[in-house]
Amino acid sequence: MRQDLRGQGGVANRELDSTGMCGADAPSGSAPRILLVIPCFNEADSIGNLLSEVAATGCDYHTLVVDDGSSDATSAVASRSSPVARLAQNLGIGGAVQTGIKYAARQDFDFCIQIDGDGQHDPRAIATLLNAYSKDPANITIGSRFIDNAGFCSTRMRRAGIRLIVLALNGLFAGGRITDPTSGMRLLDRSAIAFFAKSYPTDFPEPISLAWAMRAGLTVNEVPVEMRPRETGVSSIDGLKSASYMIRVLGYILLARLVRAP
């Protein structure tokens, strides 16, 4: 894991290992520069462990923790081992992720990989995304919980909701074969980075960003990953909120089919 920024000696020059476990071929053929964007909101209890796990992978990932206006010690904990972009106000997951994507675009990274700061995503699975990209390059590669259904527990209602979003996305957009549109673990290549740096949804960003991307002709691929239960905190989409979430997401997806992203 590298902490320094580009222009300050931060070019990752580690060559890909033969198994491809740490990276994929960069478009230029040289070692790819990979940025891990970790959006966080009050994740002081889990972010330290997550960054240690990233470091333990032994790969030359650059990390950027985006502290989305936390009121706890998230920034202080994260800044011990990673650059931290502190947002002055809570912008929500969409605003936080886009901050990281803008950073990736400006610092000329080859790949931008989003992982959650709550410890649900195993950093070792990043290599799986990169390997999938090497074999079948797509602009967006999603780490899916539902291809193998391994290690992910959720309520029946939530899974039914996700299935409905999947139906809408795959039905409305050509080439759609998505199983996990709400996954927060995804790899973006240069085209996707450039696209999302310009416009990224603030509300319910994961499924809607896919709709926007597919509408713009970007390709999406999926690879199975295991997800762990959250270390801390609770999901923000529960109870009655999930019904409202569903209606709004489906509306946005339909809208994306009709009109291009702003």
Partner 1 sequence: MTIVLPSLETVVVISAFALIYMLVLLRKTMQGKFDLYDFLMLSMVAIIPAGFALFPSLAYLVSHLTGVVFPFVVMFGALFLVVFAFMHNMTARLHKLERQNCALIQEQSLMALELQAKERGRSGG
β-bridge mates for residue 221, sequence order: 141
Dihedral over alpha carbons 131, 232, 82, 111 (to 10 degrees): 30
Binding mask 193-232 for partner 1 (x = CB under 8 A): ---------x------------------------------
Residue 83 as a binder of partner 1 (CB under 8 A): the answer is: yes
Q: Beta 84-86 vs 111-114: how paired, if at all? A: unpaired
Return d(Cα 172, Cα 191) in angstroms, integer: 22
Cβ atoms within 10 A of the Cβ of 90, count?
15
Point out which span in 44-52, 55-63, 77-85, 245-253 binds partner 1 (CB under 8 A): 77-85
Binding mask 23-62 for partner 1 (x = CB under 8 A): ----------------------------------------
Q: How far apart are the first and last CA of the chain?
A: 35
Residue 66 as a binder of partner 1 (CB under 8 A): the answer is: yes
Point out which span in 98-106, 131-139, 216-224, 243-251 binds partner 1 (CB under 8 A): 98-106
Helix (H) or strand (E) holding 54: helix 44-56
Residue 129 as a binder of partner 1 (CB under 8 A): the answer is: no
**What are the helix and strand counts (H, E) for the chain?**
8, 7
Instruction: In angstroms, give the least distance from the CB of 107 to partner 1.
Output: 9
Residue type, 164: L
Nearest to 186, CA basis, from 216, 152, 145, 153: 145
CB 122 within 8 A of CB 226: yes
Point out which span in 88-96, 130-138, 140-148, 209-217 binds partner 1 (CB under 8 A): 88-96
Point out which span in 2-10, 45-53, 119-127, 163-171 binds partner 1 (CB under 8 A): 2-10
List the structure tokens of 136: 């079948």
Point out which span in 30-38, 93-101, 129-137, 240-248 binds partner 1 (CB under 8 A): 93-101
Residue 252 as a binder of partner 1 (CB under 8 A): the answer is: no
Binding residue for partner 1 (CB under 8 A) from 7, 28, 29, 234?
7
Residue 142 as a binder of partner 1 (CB under 8 A): the answer is: no
Nearest to 238, CA basis, from 154, 174, 182, 139: 154
Instruction: In angstroms, give the least distance from the CB of 106 to partner 1.
Output: 7
- Choose between 42 and 144: whose C-beta lies nearer to partner 1: 42
Residue 77 as a binder of partner 1 (CB under 8 A): the answer is: no
Dihedral over alpha carbons 137, 2, 109, 31 (to 10 degrees): -60
Instruction: In angstroms, give the least distance from the CB of 145 to partner 1.
Output: 29
Residue 85 as a binder of partner 1 (CB under 8 A): the answer is: yes
Torsion angles phi and psi, residue 37, rounded to 5? -100, 120
Indicate the burial class of 2 (C-beta count within 10 angstroms; 0-12, 13-18, 19 or more): buried
In the complex, the residues that contact partner 1 under the rule CB under 8 A are 4-5, 7-8, 64, 66, 83-89, 91, 95, 98-99, 102-103, 106, 202
